[in-house]
Structure 1
Amino acid sequence: MDGSGLMMDPTPRILADRRWFAWMNRRQSSSTMHPLEDEDLLQEILLRLPPQPSSLPRASLVCTRWHRILSDPKFPHRFRKHHQKPPLLGFFLVVPLGNRTFTPILDRPDRIPATRFALPQGHDLPQDQWHFMGCRHGLTVLINAWQRQIVMWNPLTGQLRRVTFPQSIRYKHEIFCHATVLCADPEDGHVHGDCFLSPFKLVMVSVRDRETCACVYDSTSGVWGNILSIVTMSTNIFIRHNILVENAIYFHGGEILAFDLEKQSLGVIDMPSDVDLRDFGTSQLLRMEDGGLGLVVLSFLTIQLWQRKSDCGVVRWVLLQKTIELEDHLVPRRMGHDCIIVMVLIAGYDEEKILIVLSTTGGNFMLQVGSMKTRNICEGNLISDETFYPYTNFYTTV
């Protein structure tokens, strides 16, 4: 009864009390719930597993619930986005105009067998006709000049995609061809890895009689763009690893060829005037930590670092103060009582991790340019004639 003497209906009060008790029960039950029983929290925990190849397959064996979460098609995307940088799985070792093999770099249980990185066999994929061009964004590129085809291959999934040469490029013996790929996914914050189904750009460069031509294939339109050409002094612009710095691809051999993807321009960059880069294996372009274009120059057991910098509107090479003395990082190989001085050549480069591969008479090593830490890749007694192409990607199969 209220102040006016009218009898009040108790039903609303009873319903309100019941809702309050139900809310309290849910709150108490959720507060006492084990963290792994909370679906959202469990997903956040699984996202933070290490990016090494064994992490997700092993976690998926814990129980059917974990397997269901890890098998969700959206989970690999979130996993890559959380970790940002894929791990280095190993190196493709390529002999000039010869075979290619894969050398895993991770220890067990993260070591993926080399057999997983064998190019699928087929009547139209003869091993001796497909030449390995390099890796980027989880994709590898091979070229068959006789068939006038470029193949993009995801080694972890076995997926292949073919692109035919532009009609204006006709292969002949005197033409040198090269191709490289980069992911062109427009998604904000896109993390590379499993980019096979993403939009991509394929850059093809050819040289004939010192006339260098370049052309870009856009997977979105499915057509090749206009061919650009420039006169170069050397036909050896494909000897070393090409690199991607901001919006440009740089090819390096006897000179540097710069192909700006945004401006659609082709140019040649002069080398430092007091550096002789005619010897194979003594220099390598690299992406500096600040994102600029750099150059590693090897002189016996000393590495010099150069960088392109702008000074009053003029861009030029600047020799950095930092030098790397390889005697401090590579132990000379001993034979009996005699110490054999290590001979060194640059055999590979990873543009993402900014590391170079050094081939020596004592084995092959990775050198992190920033930290100057070294790691052995494989033992050896001779300088290797193989080129090392690093392969990085996320392994998210469960």
Structure 2
Amino acid sequence: MDSPNRVPEGRFSYEHTGNGCFIPFGCRHGLQLIFHQSGKQLHVRDPFNGDKRRLPVPPGFDGWETPISGAVFRAAGDIQHFQVVLVGTERNNQHHTRVIARVYSSETGIWGNLMSTPLPPKASSSMDQHPTKIRMWFTISVLVGHSLYWLLTNISAATNMLDGILEFDLERQTLAVIPVPVDIANNCLSQFQVMQAEGGGLGIFFLSKFSAQLWKMETDSDGVASWVLGRTVELDKPLSLNPEEEESLIIGGFAEYNNVVFLQTPTNFFMVQLESLQFKKVSKSNSLTRYDPFESVYVAEYPLVGTGIDGGHDGAEFFRNT
């Protein structure tokens, strides 16, 4: 789009200071969340006006020996403030024993109390068998309903296998680890995507070569939750793929507002809307890369309101409507 509706490309660039790496933790509600690993800081950025807020990572979340991930969000109807959920694992010698979380509020300027939940037995047993080769890791978060979800995985020298889905309930402020369907559990991370299921609720998009399965978590009359397989879709024909030339599809990103999954082959890059199965070939590709879509609505004429993110409680700040 033309100015003033076009966001300058530089607003999405990372700072190349030569001092450590910057790890994207995803985008939501018009904000980016970035982890500066060596600086032990979280950067919350508003690409529309260039504002940025630096948050010190609280004790227990180092991002080196114990992995961390996070999510930024705004409460419904609140464009003046934001919150950050930071998750990680607690390590005892060589063993990751539980998942921990804390929540930061820009309104109060402080991190909340520590929350935790035990890691599943599968993860613990894997760590016992290969303590030097396996680490826990989290994917980019997805917001479904009033909960944030991360895929929780073991990373080994050979592969990365899914251990479960971490849920952080924003209303109850609780953590839980949800098992994945047993039929697809022993597969690698690049085949899974947490999503909103058809009709609402938690779902999983599972990719096996050129076939996609859409799973949904349902609760019976006794309140027992279980996974139910919904649709299975063959993607090679709709995407005009040649199984003899293309090895397989992998998941390269996800846009949660529109339920759009980004799929890659070694030579092509597609986006697929999961309800309608409408697709678009975005580009040719010669490398496999993870994409973090930025989704937002911006009204250029809207007046600056409230406090922004650049100076926190130490100075005046502004957010634009997003």
TM-score, length basis structure 2: 0.77
> How far is the alpha carbon of 1:261 from its aligned partner?
1.7
> How far is the alpha carbon of 1:289 from its aligned partner?
4.1
Q: Counterpart in 1 of 2:314?
A: none
Partner SS, residue 274 of structure 1? helix
In 1, Cα distance between equivalents of 2:69 and 2:24: 10
Partner SS, residue 340 of structure 1? coil
Answer yes or no: is 1:260 the counterpart of 2:162.
Answer: no
* Structure 2, unpaired ranges of 5+: 124-134, 153-161, 302-322
Q: Counterpart in 1 of 2:47?
A: 155
Task: Mark the CA change 1:355 to 1:277 in structure 2 (over 3 Å): closer, same or farther.
Answer: farther
* Structure 1, unpaired ranges of 5+: 1-52, 58-109, 188-194
Task: Mark the CA change 1:171 to 1:341 in structure 2 (over 3 Å): closer, same or farther.
Answer: closer
Percent sequence identity is 30
> How far is the alpha carbon of 1:310 from its aligned partner?
0.8
Answer yes or no: is 1:249 the counterpart of 2:148.
Answer: yes
Q: Counterpart in 1 of 2:183?
A: 274
Q: Counterpart in 2 of 1:389?
A: 292
Task: Mark the CA change 1:145 to 1:159 in structure 2 (over 3 Å): closer, same or farther.
Answer: same
In 1, Cα distance between equivalents of 2:298 and 2:180: 39
Larger helix percent = 1
> How far is the alpha carbon of 1:111 from its aligned partner?
7.1
8 Å contact kept, 2:204–2:214: yes
Task: Mark the CA change 1:349 to 1:172 in structure 2 (over 3 Å): closer, same or farther.
Answer: closer
In 2, Cα distance between equivalents of 1:290 and 1:172: 36
Answer yes or no: is 1:288 the counterpart of 2:187.
Answer: no
- 1:213 is aligned, of 72, 82, 100, to 100
Cα RMSD, aligned residues only: 2.4
The residue type equivalent to 1:315 in the other structure is A
Answer yes or no: is 1:118 the counterpart of 2:13.
Answer: yes
The residue type equivalent to 1:318 in the other structure is V
Post-superposition CA distance 1:324-376 (Å, at most 9, x none): 21012212259xxxx51352101111110001000113311101101111112
8 Å contact kept, 1:285–1:296: yes
TM-score, length basis structure 1: 0.63
Task: Mark the CA change 1:221 to 1:232 in structure 2 (over 3 Å): closer, same or farther.
Answer: same
Q: Counterpart in 1 of 2:112?
A: 225
**1:270-349 matched pairs, under 5 angstroms:** 270-312=179-221, 313-320=223-230, 322-332=231-241, 339-349=244-254
**1:1-398 matched pairs, under 5 angstroms:** 53-54=1-2, 57=4, 114-119=9-14, 126=18, 128-166=20-58, 168-169=59-60, 171=62, 173-186=64-77, 195=79, 198-207=80-89, 208=91, 209-210=95-96, 211-233=98-120, 234=123, 235-238=135-138, 240-253=139-152, 254=162, 255-312=164-221, 313-320=223-230, 322-332=231-241, 339-382=244-287, 384=288, 386-397=289-300
Post-superposition CA distance 1:17-42 (Å, at most 9, x none): xxxxxxxxxxxxxxxxxxxxxxxxxx
> How far is the alpha carbon of 1:278 from its aligned partner?
3.4
> How far is the alpha carbon of 1:397 from its aligned partner?
4.0
Task: Mark the CA change 1:369 to 1:158 in structure 2 (over 3 Å): closer, same or farther.
Answer: same
In 1, Cα distance between equivalents of 2:36 and 2:6: 30
Task: Mark the CA change 1:368 to 1:311 in structure 2 (over 3 Å): closer, same or farther.
Answer: same
In 2, Cα distance between equivalents of 1:340 and 1:227: 50
In 1, Cα distance between equivalents of 2:255 and 2:61: 32
Post-superposition CA distance 1:271-305 (Å, at most 9, x none): 11111343131111101243310001111111001
8 Å contact kept, 2:70–2:85: yes
Larger strand percent = 2
The count of aligned residue pairs is: 272
In 2, Cα distance between equivalents of 1:199 and 1:184: 8
8 Å contact kept, 1:237–1:256: no
Q: Counterpart in 2 of 1:99?
A: none
8 Å contact kept, 2:61–2:68: no
Q: Counterpart in 1 of 2:306?
A: none
Q: Counterpart in 2 of 1:27?
A: none
In 1, Cα distance between equivalents of 2:268 and 2:8: 21
The residue type equivalent to 2:49 in the other structure is T
8 Å contact kept, 1:152–1:161: yes
